A and B are shown apart, each in its own frame.
Chain A
Amino acid sequence: MKKIMVASDGSDHSTRALKKAIQIGSSQESVTIDLVYVVDGDTSKADVLHYGDSDTASFKRQKMMEQQAEIAREAGLQTDIKILHGSASETLIDYANNGSYDLVLVGSRGRNKLQTMLLGSVSHKLIKHIDAPVMVVK
């Protein structure tokens, strides 16, 4: 196994996914991790409101992802950050399928049964449409 992609938004759920990726990566030779964060329209609205402008929002996101990447780098894994713009699931699916990854990890948001029934789950969509094996970390 060589290339692992971790879908991240800096939350605890995605940090758990990253830690799992490190665990898997550490047991093998020359593994690289790509941390991928997708900014969608609603994220832009909230972030621009809270950070004042787009440049500051981008800077904060970069910093947040650097903190995440540092966790993997400390474990000795080569880690890159990719910040994309678009709707979350579709952008992740496109990026994963163009990147020929050996494994894709996503954090489960931990919704309850009712929420899952009403809202569906992003992770389910990813499992269905990403060509590589997808691991959902609870």
Chain B
Amino acid sequence: MKGVFTKEQWFGNVRGDVLAGIVVALALIPEAIAFSIIAGVDPMVGLYASFCIAVVISFVGGRPGMISAATGAMALLMVTLVADHGLQYLFAATILTGILQILAGVFKLAKYMKFIPRSVMIGFVNALAILIFTSQLQHFVGETWIMYVLVAATLAIIYLLPLVTKVVPSTLVAIVAITAVAIFMNIDVRTVGDMGALTQTLPMFLIPDIPLNFETLQIIFPYAIALTVVGLLESLLTASIVDDATDTESDKNMESRGQGIANITAGFFGGMAGCAMIGQSVINVKSGGRGRLSTLVAGVFLMVLIVLLGNVVVQIPMAALAGVMIMVSISTFDWSSIKTMHIVPKTDVAVMVATVSVVVYTHDLSKGVLAGVVLSALFFAAKISKVKVMSLLVNSGDKRIYYIRGQIFFASITDFLAEFDFQENIDEVELDFTAAHLWDDSAAGAIDKIEMKFEQNGTKVIVKGLNIESTKLMNKIGGISKSSGH
């Protein structure tokens, strides 16, 4: 755990960290409440989660200056668990998620992130943005025009205020203004208070009230796996973004363990699973946050505000919250992926769109990632399985040399075999593999088949130019012993 308590990481940037932490805390409150509502739990569950995760990760995380809390990506995965089994199972799943994430950190799984193609990650982010947006549509059902006006006003303040001043976060001003308008003009709209209870108390230690048996594990394990994967994906992606924005490095395995410890804590203190947040981390860095102190201040200040101002928070109209969430979805979406759509390879676009489609259909980011990875693998196999065969007739028509270029493996052998003319009336053929590589027993089998077919026609086969690995493969499988010319 080197470096956790270094002075530089904690007190290298006190003023910037405290100010940025306060800005982030103000932006976290509406998000934590909105994500709780998405998951179908009381606002306190998201707020406690955000408090616990931010505070714990500031000590045990591997990426100083990154903000972790309750997130939309995780909330979306919990919906059916909460609906079918209730809150206690969510706490248990959160704790199990933490344990799995610690294991991922201990076994250094962070490096396998590179097996997830970039187009899948872009699809992940875009799908998340779309789901956050569509999750807000339910708040418009059965509402009057007043709802639309308030949402529009919220968005107008959020986007236009920064042109005048950037001293106060515009989302905060929007929420305060819309709440004030709703209270003083006595507008009858749904508020946060209508969505669930908000208590002005600190989180307490609890043990999830569930039977400790195999059946419980069967219920929570699939959710915990999905939460673990999505949580680590978003956290490690965010860590890379913060690395890049601050031009510093981070310990990805330490961050995986830290996310686990933070989630276990959240689960035992009545919170839902969370992870790092791209948007909030960018806000933190933009506001001058660099060190661990910024994350700690964000978590502590959030809790202080809830304890002091909880009775005001319940009066925030859902319209203001929906406006903020629409802004969050717009800033989460990777717009550059639309702009560059016509120049990136078509297969990459297909993978991105497939990832998004699967997520939007299943509401499960982990399924989208899986679909994207599988599709990328198929495209890769298709691309690499193009084998080029050229041939040349020599010795005044008695001998034909085939020059083979490419990767010979299970996916390429069908096309590869179609390139040979087995019926040609010649004495011998030479297969030149100098520019080719054999990868598996399908490849070895294909060469056996070629030899067999030529020899059936009375044509002698010479195999040449196999590289060392390919020769080893042929020897192991035993095909090469038949070939002549050695």
Contacts and interface: CB of A to CB of B under 8 A. Distances in A.
B118 A51 contact: yes
A49 B118 contact: yes
Interface of B: 114, 118, 121-122, 125, 160, 163, 237, 240-247, 278, 282-283, 285-286, 334, 336-337, 340
Given A48-B241, A50-B122, 5 more contacts: A41-B283, A44-B282, A45-B282, A49-B118, A53-B240
A51 B163 CA distance: 32
Contact of B244 (A54, A119, A120): A54
A39 interface: yes
A85 B240 contact: no
Given A48-B244, A85-B245, A120-B163, A41 B118 contact: no
Interface SS of chain A: helix, strand, loop or mixed?
Answer: helix
Nearest to A45: B241
Interface string A33-71: 000000111101111111111100110000000000000
Contact of B240 (A39, A54, A120): A54
A118 B162 CA distance: 10
A51 to B, nearest CB: 7
Contact of A50 (B118, B163, B242, B286): B118
Contacts of B282: 41-42, 44-45
Contacts of A30: none
Nearest to B122: A49
Contacts of B283: 41
In the complex, which range does the number of interface residues on chain A fall in?
Answer: 20 to 34
B285 A41 contact: yes
Give chain B's interface secondary structure class.
helix
Interface of A: 39-42, 44-54, 57-58, 85, 87, 118-120
B227 to A, nearest CB: 22
A67 to B, nearest CB: 17
Given A48-B240, A48-B241, A41 B286 contact: yes
A60 B313 CA distance: 46
Contact of A52 (B118, B125, B340): B118
A56 B55 CA distance: 31
A42 B125 CA distance: 14
A39 B244 CA distance: 8
- Scoring B121, B334, B336 by chain A CB atoms within 10 A of each residue's CB, the highest score goes to B336
Contacts of B237: 48-49
Contacts of A85: 245-247
Contacts of B160: 118
A70 B283 CA distance: 35
30 contacts: A41-B245, A41-B285, A41-B286, A42-B282, A44-B241, A44-B244, A44-B245, A45-B278, A46-B336, A48-B237, A48-B241, A48-B243, A48-B244, A49-B118, A49-B125, A49-B334, A49-B336, A50-B118, A50-B340, A53-B240, A53-B243, A54-B240, A54-B243, A54-B244, A57-B244, A58-B247, A85-B245, A85-B247, A87-B286, A119-B163
A123 to B, nearest CB: 16
A49 to B, nearest CB: 5
